[in-house]
Structure 1
Amino acid sequence: MDNTASSLPDDWPEPVVPVQSLSEAGISALPLQYIKPLQDRPVLPAPSLDVPTVDVAAFLDGGGANEQLKNLQDACSQYGFFQVVNHGVEASTVQRMRGAWRWFFALEMEEKKVCSNSPAAPEGYGSRAGVEKGALLDWGDYYFLNILPSEIKCRNKWPKSPHDLREITEDYGRDLMNLSELLLKAISLSLGLGEDYLHEAFGGGDGISACMRVNYYPKCPQPELTLGISSHSDAGGIAVFLADDRVKGTQVRKGDAWYTVQPIPNAFLVNVGDQIQIISNDKYKSVEHRAVASSDDTRFTVTFFCNPRGNIAISPATKLVSAQSPALYKPIAFDEYRRYSRMRGLKGKSQLEAMKKNNSASSELCKKCL
Structure 2
Amino acid sequence: MDCLADWPEPIVRVQSLSDSGATIVPSRYIKPPADRPCFESLPCEVNIPVVDLGDPDAASTVSKACRDWGFFQAVNHGVCRELMNSAREVWREFFHLPMETKQAYSNSPKTYEGYGSRLGIEKGAILDWGDYYYLHFSPPCLKSQAKWPALPVFLRHTVEEYGKQLTKMSERVMELLSLGLGLDRGRLQRGFGGEEVGVCMRVNYYPTCPQPDLTLGLSSHSDPGGITVLLPDDKVKGLQIRHGGGWVTVQPLSDSFIVNVGDQIQVLSNAIYRSVEHRVVVNSTAERLSMAFFYNPRSDLLLGPMPELVNQDRPAMYQPMTFDQYRLYIRKQGPRGKSHVESLKAI
Query: How far does residue 326 in structure 1 lie from its aligned partner after superposition?
Result: 0.3
Q: Give the equivalent residue in structure 2 for 1:362.
A: none
Task: Give the secondary structure class of the aligned counterpart of 1:224.
Answer: coil
> Residues of 2 paired with 1:35 and 1:46: CA distance?
22
Q: CA deviation digits over 1:99-135, x for unaligned, max 9?
A: 1101100001111111000112410000000000000
**Contact 2:63-2:176 within 8 A present in 1 as well:** no
Equivalent of residue 131 in structure 1, options 97, 106, 121: 121
**Contact 1:227-1:292 within 8 A present in 2 as well:** yes
Matches within 5 A, 1:61-76: 65=56, 67-76=57-66
Task: Give the secondary structure class of the aligned counterpart of 1:235.
Answer: coil
Q: Which has the higher helix share?
A: 1
Which amino acid in structure 2 is aligned with residue 41 of structure 1? R
Structure 2: state its 5+ residue gaps: none
Query: How far does residue 7 in structure 1 lie from its aligned partner after superposition?
Result: 4.7
Task: Give the secondary structure class of the aligned counterpart of 2:67.
Answer: helix
Equivalent of residue 192 in structure 1, options 179, 182, 187: 182
> Residues of 1 paired with 2:50 and 2:38: CA distance?
26
> Residues of 1 paired with 2:63 and 2:314: CA distance?
18
Equivalent of residue 46 in structure 1, options 41, 45, 49: 41
1:276 to 2:265 alignment? yes
1:21 to 2:36 alignment? no
Q: Give the equivalent residue in structure 1 for 2:100.
A: 110
Q: Give the equivalent residue in structure 2 for 1:220.
A: 209
Equivalent of residue 10 in structure 1, options 2, 5, 13: 5
Task: Give the secondary structure class of the aligned counterpart of 2:72.
Answer: strand
Task: Give the secondary structure class of the aligned counterpart of 2:326.
Answer: helix
**Contact 2:40-2:248 within 8 A present in 1 as well:** no
> Residues of 1 paired with 2:335 and 2:53: CA distance?
31
**Contact 2:220-2:279 within 8 A present in 1 as well:** yes
Query: How far does residue 137 in structure 1 lie from its aligned partner after superposition?
Result: 0.2
Which amino acid in structure 2 is aligned with residue 298 of structure 1? E
Structure 1: state its 5+ residue gaps: 1-5, 59-64, 359-370
> Residues of 1 paired with 2:25 and 2:47: CA distance?
33
> Residues of 2 paired with 1:243 and 1:10: CA distance?
31
Equivalent of residue 169 in structure 1, options 146, 156, 159: 159
> Residues of 1 paired with 2:50 and 2:294: CA distance?
19
> Residues of 1 paired with 2:67 and 2:110: CA distance?
35
Which amino acid in structure 2 is aligned with residue 329 of structure 1? Y
**Contact 2:120-2:335 within 8 A present in 1 as well:** yes
**Contact 1:54-1:83 within 8 A present in 2 as well:** yes
Which amino acid in structure 1 is aligned with residue 330 of structure 2? S
Scaled by the length of structure 1, the TM-score of the pair is 0.92
**Contact 1:10-1:121 within 8 A present in 2 as well:** no
> Residues of 1 paired with 2:85 and 2:254: CA distance?
13
> Residues of 1 paired with 2:324 and 2:203: CA distance?
21
Query: How far does residue 68 in structure 1 lie from its aligned partner after superposition?
Result: 2.3
Matches within 5 A, 1:295-306: 295-306=284-295
Task: Give the secondary structure class of the aligned counterpart of 1:259.
Answer: strand
> Residues of 2 paired with 1:7 and 1:198: CA distance?
33
Q: Give the equivalent residue in structure 2 for 1:143.
A: 133
> Residues of 1 paired with 2:188 and 2:329: CA distance?
23
Pairwise CA RMSD: 1.0
Give the number of equivalent residue pairs: 345
Query: How far does residue 256 in structure 1 lie from its aligned partner after superposition?
Result: 1.9
1:262 to 2:251 alignment? yes
Which amino acid in structure 1 is aligned with residue 54 of structure 2? A
Task: Give the secondary structure class of the aligned counterpart of 1:204.
Answer: coil
1:55 to 2:44 alignment? no
% identity of equivalent residues: 50
1:99 to 2:89 alignment? yes
> Residues of 1 paired with 2:243 and 2:257: CA distance?
19
**Contact 1:76-1:285 within 8 A present in 2 as well:** yes
Equivalent of residue 278 in structure 2, options 285, 289, 294: 289
Q: Is the deviation greater in 268-277 or in 116-125? A: 116-125
Q: Is the deviation greater in 214-223 or in 40-49? A: 40-49
> Residues of 2 paired with 1:287 and 1:271: CA distance?
8
Equivalent of residue 210 in structure 1, options 169, 178, 199: 199
Q: Give the equivalent residue in structure 2 for 1:62.
A: none
> Residues of 2 paired with 1:341 and 1:121: CA distance?
12
Scaled by the length of structure 2, the TM-score of the pair is 0.98
